[in-house]
Amino acid sequence: MVTLRVAEHPLLQVFALCCRFAAPLGEIEGSAEVARVLREPAPCADEERRARVRALLRHGGYKPSGRGKPSSEYLVRAAQGDGLPRINPAVDLCNAVSVESGLPVSVVDLGRTTGELSIACAPKGASYVFNASGQEIDLGGLLCLFDAEGPCANAVKDAQRTKTDATSTEVLFVLWCPREEAAAGEQALTLIRQEAEAMGAEVAVLAS
């Protein structure tokens, strides 16, 4: 049983669900609707939501700007070009929901996490590698998902060590939602659940 402990935070409303797929992601047929969204996205244009997401990340002292801006903002900009690339069914679903909701979404391979999962602000000096090239992100003050080894995901860049790939079968989605945008978060969670179930996954909501 996967559990998620969330530290008290005045601005955060976490939405999270666990999906157990019947086969590795590399063997699963992705959603046609998600493929359409990635090909012809309708990026969220709600400036108040964008500002609230930034305020959420800024609360602990993190500066959400430049290369450290919320992942949802990065996806919106990327989508304005030739759409978003296909990666795997879980990441594709994460990206499609994020770009259209304007909310950052993390996707983590639960098979690569250890121990209890929790959400809290990372301490000063914390960091992790976020890509295969070995680049690191400074996490001080940023809300993060933690396992027994330390932080492994957040609303900006997820850790390389717990990213999904073609072999992943059990996945955790985390929506980083400002409390004032709870209705949008609930809608985004519902979309992820529906699409994951349509792909044959067993779904359990951990936080809503």
The string of pLDDT tens digits covering residues 51-83 is 999 999 999 999 999 989 999 999 988 888 778
**C-alpha separations of 6 from 10, 53, 108, 117 in Å:** 12, 18, 16, 9
> pLDDT digits over 183-202, tens only?
999 999 999 999 999 999 99
Pairing of strands 4-6, 117-121: parallel
Task: Give the Cβ contact number of residue 94 at 10 Å.
Answer: 27
What's this model's pTM, rounded to 2 decimal places?
Answer: 0.96
pLDDT at 82: 78
Q: CA 45 to CA 50: how far, in whole Å?
A: 8
Q: Give the CATH number for residue 62.
A: 3.50.40.10
CA distance 175 to 97: 10
Distance between CA atoms of residues 127 and 142, nearest Å = 10
- Domain of residue 124, residue span: 4-207
- Which pLDDT belongs to residue 148? 97
pLDDT confidence of residue 136: 97
Write down the pLDDT at residue 208. 78
Counted domains in the chain: 1
Average per-residue pLDDT in the chain?
A: 95
128-170 pLDDT per residue, tens: 999 999 999 999 999 999 999 999 999 999 999 999 999 999 9
Phi, psi at 166, each rounded to 5°: -65, -20
Could you give the CA distance from residue 99 to residue 96 in angstroms, rounded to a whole number?
Answer: 5
**What's the confidence (pLDDT) of residue 168?**
98
Q: Give yes or no for residue 1 having a pLDDT over 80.
A: no
